[in-house]
Structure 1
Amino acid sequence: MNNDNRYSSHNHHDYDDMDKLKHEHGITDEHGYHKDQHQVHHAGHDHCGHSGHDHHHHGSFKELFLKSLPLGIIIMFFSPLHGFKLPFQFTFPYSDIVVAILSTILIVYGGRPFYQGAVDEFKQKKPGMMALVSLGISVSYLYSIYAVIITYVMGEHVMDFFFEFASLLLIMLLG
């Protein structure tokens, strides 16, 4: 089958369709009115899921990660790593209380942008990733605090998730 003529009806030098497309989407410079109408038409929504978000915070996430990293490493160092049997443990009497206090500092400091983002998302009635991350770090933190309280009040050991909490928060800050 000879395919040399399959494009014969298509004129490669006919730009009328392209000009029509530019006109409809307000792309041309000489049609400022259409460009404005396009912006008004798309003002209520966006194409990438970041409406209402400023993008200058990406640098602050890196800075927040670097400032939170030492605290997160200390928390992970003194928290038992569940699922792994190590020949040694880095714990001391009441180390779980120290880890709980350090985790409280980490969630207040490192979790702040996620909570602020979640509040903004809920105000816009569009919960998204910030709300999801806030929920994840909150649940792991609150359950771990509950586990420490139960351990001291009831005298039975309940597994905490401070290691997982700290690693989750640091990974989310890393982006």
Structure 2
Amino acid sequence: MSNYAKALDTVVSEDDWERMSKHAGVSPAELKAKLIPALEGAFGEGAAEITAARNVPGVRLMAVEQKDNCSSQSFEVDLFSIVGVSGTLTLCGTNSRNWSAKLKWCLVLAGSEVWCTSYEFNPHDLRVCSSPRLGAVKAKLCYKLKPRNGKICVSIKGRACAWTFGWKCGRFNKALFCISLP
């Protein structure tokens, strides 16, 4: 066992591994086998210093799906090094005063979803913040919806961290996408 894996065992409890593995859909042992080498490679002993280029959010959007009065946009966002989010926003309604949106999103560590939640928005409730903390990863994320010219635009702001013999963190503030009201 590497020094990094031993040190990580002092920070990440067995309960944390259980919770993360449930969201990832694998056993705790499988998740450890995937995440420890990824964390160690990104930040561990002998890893290069974190550069600004690793702290630039990248956004990947899937095709918009439409059904009845609803449109859904799935997305993936790189936040910091090997920490990201994935999710789907489903927007339903007929105009800028009569709509609702459901956001289901997951915190991603080295390609594995380790924590997921959902939230419902409406024209009077346009922002949600969450602060998940699970052993080797923590974040403070705020999603904001902004109506604009018959569309709802989504942005994310916050900070994401991975544990690497101490917390290494990056900040972000990114417009993700706009989706038209159906």
Higher helix share: 1
> Which structure would you say has the larger Rg?
1
The TM-score normalised by the length of structure 1 is 0.24
The TM-score normalised by the length of structure 2 is 0.24
